[in-house]
Amino acid sequence: MRQGRYRFIVGALAGPIVLYAVLVLWPYLQSFYVSLTDWSGYTSERRLIGLANYERLLKDPVFWISLRHNLLAAVVLPVFSIGLGLFFATMLNVAGRAKKAAVQGVRGASFYRIVYFFPHLLSIAVIGVLWSFVYDPTGNGLLNGFLGLIGIDPVNWLGSTRTAYWAILAVIVWVSVGFYVLVFTAAIGSIPPDMYEAAMLDGASRWRIFWRITVPLIWDTVQVALVYAGINALDMFAIVNVMSAAGGSGGPNNSTQVLGNYIYLTAFEHGRFGYATALGVALFVVTIVLAVITLRFMRRDRVVY
Amino acid sequence: MSVHSQPRALDPKPPARTEPPRRSGRDQADIGGRTLNVFSHAFLLTWAVLVILPLLWTVLNSFKSDDEILTSAWSLPGSFSLDSFVRAWTTANIGQYFLNTAVVVSLGVILTLGLGSLVAYVIARYPFPGNRVIYFLFVAGLTFPVFLAIVPLFFVARSLQLANSLPGLALIYTAYYLPFAVFFLTAYFRTLPDSIADAAFIDGCGHWRAFFWVMLPMARPGMISVGIFVTIGQWNQFLLPLVLQTDPDKYVIAQGLASLAVSQEYASDWSGLFAGLTLSMIPVLVVYIVFQRQIESGMVAGAVK
C-alpha cells in the first residue's frame, strides 16, 4: 500500500529544496563571506580583507545615523500605530452605547474597519509617491494647501532635516493603524462577552474595563503586534527610498537615512558590495538583538480563561 | 527586512469571525457610556477623514489639468476628462507595468502555493530521517532580513539569467516566500485527520494522487489564507524588483510608479502621474471590497498566527 514512499518524498522535495538552496540559503551563506572582502564594482575580483569592513562600519557616521533612525522608528511606530490601533479597536468593539448592560461596538464599525485597513493593502511605493505630493513644499500640496487656508506658510516637509523623517514616520503610522485595528478586533472578538457583562454589572468604569479586561486578555496579541511593528521599523526601505529627497538618497543630508536604504545605496549606487554586505550583517545582528530584547521584556503571565 | 512577516504561534486556524461582543440584558442607564460614544464617533470619524482625504485628493487630481493642479490644492477639477488615464496607461507605460506585475505575481503565487504545500505536506505527514532538518532550514529563512542576501542574490540571479526576466522574478519571489508558506501550511497539514489519507491509501491511491485529490482539497482554508498573504506581499514587493529588474520594460507597477515620480521632475505630467496612482489603487480596492472578509482574516492570520 505504501510503495514508492521514498520516491515520493524525494520527488516532492527535490525541486523546492534546490530552488530554496540556490536562491535563498546560498546567498545568505555567501553574504558572511562577502562581508569580509573588498569586493566593489562589477568585477569578479574580490580580496579577503578580514574584518576591515566592520572596522570601517564602526567609524562610519552614516551607519550610526541610519541605525539611530531605525531604532527611533522601532520606538515611535509601535507607540503610535499600536496605541492608536488598540484605541480604535476598543472604540469600534466595546465603546458602543451600553443600553443593555452589555458592551457593543459603535454603529458603522465595519465601515471604519474597511476604511482604516485599505491603505495597508496599497504598495508602500505607491503610498510613498502619493504622500510626496501631499507633502509638496508649495501650496499645491494637500497639507500645505490646508495650512494655507488657515494662514500658515508652506513647510518644506520632506526637504528640511528637521521635519523629513517625522513626516515619513507619520506616513507609516497612517498606513499601519488600520492593520492593528484589524488584529486587535479579532483578538477582542474572542474575549467572552460575559466578562464585559459581569464587569459592567459590577459597575466598573470603561477605563477600568479596558485596563483590567481588554488589555490582559489580548496581551498575547499585543506582544506579537509589538514584535511585528519592531521588525517593520527595521525595514523602512521602500518608504525612504521613494520619499526621501533627491530620488531616494536618504536625504536631505541623511536625515531620513535608514539601514535598508543605506545598504541599497552602498551596493547598487556605489557598487561597494563588500561593505554593503557587512552593513547587512550588522542589520541582521540588530534584528536578532532587538527581537530577543522585545521578547524578554514582553513576557508576562498569559491569562487563561 | 525580510520579505515576509514573522508568523509565530503554530495555530493555523483562521481567526474567529470578528463580531463585536454583544449581549442583551437588563436595562441600565450609562451616562458615561453616552459621552464616550459621542467622543468615540468624533475620533473615529477624524481618522476616517485622515485616511480618505489623501486618497480622494489623488483621484481628484488625476482628473484635473496640470494648470489646475499647479494653482490650488483644494479646487475641484473643472471637467472630468479621462485623458490623463489614457496617457498614464499608454505613454507612461502603466499598462505594461500592470501586465508585468500580473504575470509575476500570478506565477509567483501559484508556484509558492504549489511547492509550499508539497513541502509542507511531506514534512507534516511523512516522518523520515532529515525531516526536522529540512523544516528547520525553511523556517530559518523567516528570521533573516532580505538585505543580508541581496548582494549575493543579485549575482546569483544574473548568472542564472533570472534577472530582468518576469518568470525569473517569479521564481525568486517563490523562493523567498517558501519559508512562510511551508511554516504556515505544515502546521495546517498536521491538524488534518489521518483517517482520510489512510482510507485513500487502502483504496489503492498513490502518494501523488492522495496529495492532489485528497489532502490538498482538505487544506483549502489554509491555502486561501497563505494565498492572500502571499499575493499581497508579492504585489507590493519593492526591493527585489528594484534590484533585479533594471530594464524598464520589465518593471512591476510599484517600481514603475516610483521611477515615474522621479522622472516626473523632467516630464512634468502631473495629472498623468496622479492617474497612474489612481489606476494602481483601483484593482486593490475592487479586490478588497469583493473578498473583504477573506483578505482581513488572511492578513491577520498571516501576520499574527
Is pLDDT larger for residue B231 or for residue B305?
B231
ipTM confidence score: 0.86
Ranking A141-150, A210-219, A222-231, A243-252 by mean pLDDT, the lowest is A243-252
**Residue pLDDT, tens place only, A114-123:** 899 999 889 8
Mean per-residue pLDDT, B254-270: 76
pLDDT digits (tens, 9 = 90+) for A182-220: 999 888 888 888 888 888 788 777 778 888 888 888 888
Tell me the percentage of chain A whose pLDDT exceeds 70.
Answer: 91
**Locus of grid cell 569586493:** A39
Picking from B28, B62, B148 by the largest number of A CB atoms within 10 A of its own CB, the best residue to mutate is B148
* A and B: number of Cβ contacts within 8 A: 357
What number is the average pLDDT over the span A97-108? 58
Least confidently predicted of A79-88, B3-12, B52-61, B226-235:
B3-12
Could you tell me which residue, A260 or A44, shows the higher pLDDT? A260
Q: Is the pLDDT assigned to residue A2 strictly greater than 70?
A: no
Termini Cα distance of chain B: 19
Which of A127-131, A135-139, A162-166, B157-161 shows the lowest mean pLDDT across its residues? A135-139
Q: What would the pLDDT profile of B90-127 be if each residue is shown by its tens digit? A: 877 888 999 999 999 999 999 999 999 999 999 998 88
Q: Is the pLDDT of residue A175 over 90?
A: yes
Beta bridge mates, A37? A48
Q: How far apart, in whole angstroms, are the C-alpha atoms of residue B198 and residue B299? A: 33
Amino acid B20: pLDDT: 46
Subunit contact B22:A109, Cβ cutoff 8 A: no
CB of B139 closer than 8 Å to CB of B179: yes
Q: What is the pLDDT of residue A107?
A: 73
**What per-residue confidence (pLDDT) applies to A270?**
87
Minimal CA separation from A186 to chain B, in Å: 5
Whole-number pLDDT of residue B106: 95
Spatial separation of the C-alpha atoms in residues A91 and A109, rounded to whole Å: 9
Q: What pLDDT is stored for residue A245 in this prediction?
A: 73
pLDDT at site B135: 93
What does the pLDDT read at residue B267?
61
Residue B176 scores a pLDDT above 80: yes
Q: At residue B149, does pLDDT exceed 60?
A: yes
Query: Across all residues in chain A, what is the average pLDDT?
Result: 84
Map out the domains of chain A with their CATH numbers: 53-298 (1.10.3720.10)
- Ranges in chain B annotated CATH 1.10.3720.10: 86-304
Which of B17, B43, B44 is the best mutation test for A, with the most CBs of A within 10 A? B44
Residue A170 has pLDDT above 50, yes or no: yes
Whether residue B17 has pLDDT greater than 70: no
Cβ atoms of B117 and B125 closer than 8 Å: no
A36 neighbourhood in chain B, CB within 8 Å: none
Name which of A183-197, B62-76, B191-205, B250-264 the model is least confident about.
B62-76
Q: Which of A19, A193, A279 sits opposite B171 (nearest CB)?
A: A19
Q: From the list A97, A122, A134, which residue is nearest B37 (CB)? A: A97
CATH number of B86-304: 1.10.3720.10
pLDDT (average), residues B240-255: 91
Give residue A6's pLDDT band: very low, low, confident or very high (50, 70, 90): confident
**CB B300 to CB A183 under 8 A?**
yes
Q: What is the SS3 assignment for chain A?
A: CCCCHHHHHHHHHHHHHHHHHHHHHHHHHHHHHHCCECCCCCCCCCCECCCHHHHHHHCCHHHHHHHHHHHHHHHHHHHHHHHHHHHHHHHHHHCCCCCCCCCCCCCCHHHHHHHHHHHHHCCHHHHHHHHHHHCCCCCCCHHHHHHHHCCCCCCCCCCCCCCHHHHHHHHHHHHHHHHHHHHHHHHHHCCCHHHHHHHHHCCCCHHHHHHHHHHHHCHHHHHHHHHHHHHHHCCCHHHHHHHCHHHHCCECCCCCCCHHHHHHHHHHHCCCHHHHHHHHHHHHHHHHHHHHHHHHHHCCCCCCC
Segment among A9-23, A144-158, B73-87 with least mean pLDDT: B73-87
- B24 pLDDT more than 50: no
Can you give the pLDDT at residue B13? 42
Q: What does the pLDDT read at residue A102?
A: 52
- Answer whether B238 sits within 8 Å of A241, measured CB to CB: yes
Q: How many Cβ atoms from other residues are within 10 Å of residue B7's Cβ?
A: 23
Contact B48 A25 (CB under 8 A): no
